[in-house]
Amino acid sequence: MRLFDFSLKLNGFDIAKAKSVLSKIQAKNDAEFEAYIEKKKKDIVSYHLKHNSFYKTFGKSITIEDWGSVPIITKRHLQQPLEDRLSKGYNIKNVYLNKTSGSSGHPFIFAKDKWCHAMTWAEIMNRFSWYGIDFNTSKQARFYGIPLDKKGYYKERLKDYFSNRFRFSVFDLSDSAFEKNLAKFKTSKFEFINGYTSPIVQFAKYLKQKDIVLTMVCPSLKVCVVTSEMLFEDDKTLMETCFGVPIVNEYGASELDLIAFQNTKGEWQVNSETLYVEVLDEQNNVLPNGEEGRIVITSFYNKAHPFIRYDIGDIGSLSENGTIRKPILKQLTGRTNDIAILPSGKKAAGLTFYYITKSVIENDGNVSEFVVEQSRLDTFNISYVCKTELSEAKKATIKAEVIRYLEPNITINFNRVEQLKRSKSGKLKQFTSHIN
């Protein structure tokens, strides 16, 4: 029995029809596909101008034939009661409801109509199938957070059961917890790992310490898909070595869909079937492929709630080698609120500090995890988990590297902790600025 498909259908998501529609979209030739994109852009704008009072007010100056006249929606625009943002005919009882993680600093509740959510699942299942994964039959090792309240906890556990997956805690990353994880892998026929990058990296470090390759104890394992947090090249190499399977990078947003997924050629292929992805400059002009800017996304199928030219809060670029049919995400730099402003007025991607620190303190295996926070224009705090205190020499090296890459007169404070603070969902944010 195809239990996963059945559970989706039971909740009102027509997954069989969605898979059929997606297959027909993918079968279009290049000219047909381009025409499909243009039609879907106009259709979704026209629909919300007609049926959504929030969008009708928001998009007063839109000319349907001029895509540039369609305004940019930000998360701030959506921080109002959901009932005021729903289209005619939709209410909280006949839509899929969820809320964003708040990692951008602007959390909000959103809705998708059930057909849109079915198309989301068709897209996800299609991408995972590139690596031989079938959600109905392939058992998943899931590294995600879980609600700690009783109702939320058991609801997620029930979903895990119907979804053929086992959830590992991302809140306990101790050796004793990983020892239990390893025992579960030895007795379960997991076909794929899926979850947040940082806890999966920590599990790989544990395996390296024990000189174990995961496929030696769990030979059914085919692939590991990481999401929601930055994946660094050396971490990817570590996981490939310790797991013995390909490591795939996924980029998505709960309010939208799967945005990009690494294909078998190693390209970060953008979802062009259900989304339209643009990269814009600060004046909202579309940038040429290869240039870095704000990632703005249109959801073709969400009639319940408008996500049209929606600024997701991320910075990145599309590859020059991409096409309308097959766009390629060249780079995902970080979030717009992760920009560090320095004393001189210079701006730098917050992850620059993370890269610098990572290159210095992780090479000997002493430091297992760390985060960087900016508390003042000239002050950055590094909290880290390690076996032994960082030496003064290593701290001095980090400070020197920061000055070399950025500018002088920057203070770096170090704080050794037993455990890093994660969000309620279990995500770990590598860089945070408290001054922007």
Q: List the chain domain ranges.
A: 3-332, 342-433
Residues 402, 206: Cα–Cα separation, whole Å: 29
Residues facing 382 on adjacent strands = 372, 414
> What is the predicted pLDDT for the residue at 84?
92
Residue 335: pLDDT band with limits 50, 70, 90: low
Q: Which amino acid is at 250?
A: E
Helix (H, G, I), strand (E, B) or coil at 231: coil
Residues 190, 178: Cα–Cα separation, whole Å: 16
* CA dist list (Å): 270 to 5, 261, 325: 24, 7, 9
Closest CA to 217 of 168, 241, 184: 184
> What is the predicted pLDDT for the residue at 148?
66
> What is the predicted pLDDT for the residue at 157?
84
> What is the predicted pLDDT for the residue at 291?
96
At 17, list the tokens.
């029809």
- The CATH number of 342-433, from 2.40.50.100, 3.40.50.1860, 3.30.43.10, 3.30.300.30, is 3.30.300.30
**Contact indicator for 103, 429 with CB cutoff of 8 Å:** yes
Q: Which residue has the higher pLDDT, 101 or 62?
A: 62
> What is the predicted pLDDT for the residue at 122?
97
HSE toward the beta carbon, residue 331, CA cutoff 13 A: 12
Closest CA to 164 of 184, 125, 136: 136
pTM score, whole prediction: 0.84
* CA dist list (Å): 220 to 195, 223, 327: 18, 10, 32
**Contact indicator for 99, 109 with CB cutoff of 8 Å:** yes
Q: Which residue has the higher pLDDT, 222 or 418?
A: 222
Please state the rounded mean pLDDT for residues 370-388.
Answer: 89
Closest CA to 274 of 431, 436, 43: 43
Tokens 């995902």: give the residue.
332
- The CATH number of 3-332, from 3.40.50.12780, 3.10.20.740, 3.40.250.10, 3.90.25.10, is 3.40.50.12780
Average pLDDT, the chain: 90
Please state the rounded mean pLDDT for residues 191-205.
Answer: 93
Q: Which residue has the higher pLDDT, 334 or 273?
A: 273
Q: Which amino acid is at 96?
A: Y
Return the sign of the alpha-carbon dihedral for residues 71, 250, 426, 315. negative
The percent of residues above 90 in pLDDT, for the chain, comes to: 62
**Contact indicator for 201, 230 with CB cutoff of 8 Å:** no
Most confident of 3-7, 89-93, 158-162, 230-234: 89-93
Q: What is the 3-state secondary structure (H, E, C) of 32-96?
A: HHHHHHHHHHHHHHHHHHHHCHHHHHHCCCCECCEHHHCCCECCCCCCCCHHHCCCCCCCCCCEE
| Sequence-distant (≥ 6) Cβ neighbours of residue 69 within 8 angstroms | 61, 62, 63
> What is the predicted pLDDT for the residue at 367?
83
Give the length of the chain: 436
Alpha carbon 98 to its chain centroid, in Å, reads 15
Helix (H, G, I), strand (E, B) or coil at 189: coil
Does residue 318 surpass a pLDDT of 90? Answer: yes
Residue 146: pLDDT band with limits 50, 70, 90: confident
Please state the rounded mean pLDDT for residues 345-368.
Answer: 74
Residues facing 415 on adjacent strands = 383
Closest CA to 142 of 215, 69, 228: 228
Q: Which amino acid is at 422?
A: R
Does residue 436 surpass a pLDDT of 90? Answer: no
Residue 337: pLDDT band with limits 50, 70, 90: low
Residues 152, 313: Cα–Cα separation, whole Å: 28
Please state the rounded mean pLDDT for residues 296-314.
Answer: 96
Most confident of 70-79, 261-270, 395-404: 261-270
Does residue 106 surpass a pLDDT of 60? Answer: no
Least confident span in 151-165, 195-209, 353-367, 403-417: 353-367
HSE toward the beta carbon, residue 90, CA cutoff 13 A: 25
Q: How far apart are the first and last CA of the chain?
A: 52
Does residue 102 surpass a pLDDT of 70? Answer: no
Hey, how many other C-beta atoms are within 10 angstroms of the C-beta on 397?
17
Helix (H, G, I), strand (E, B) or coil at 251: strand
Q: Which amino acid is at 323?
A: T
The percent of residues above 70 in pLDDT, for the chain, comes to: 94
Rg (alpha carbons) of the chain, rounded to whole number? 22
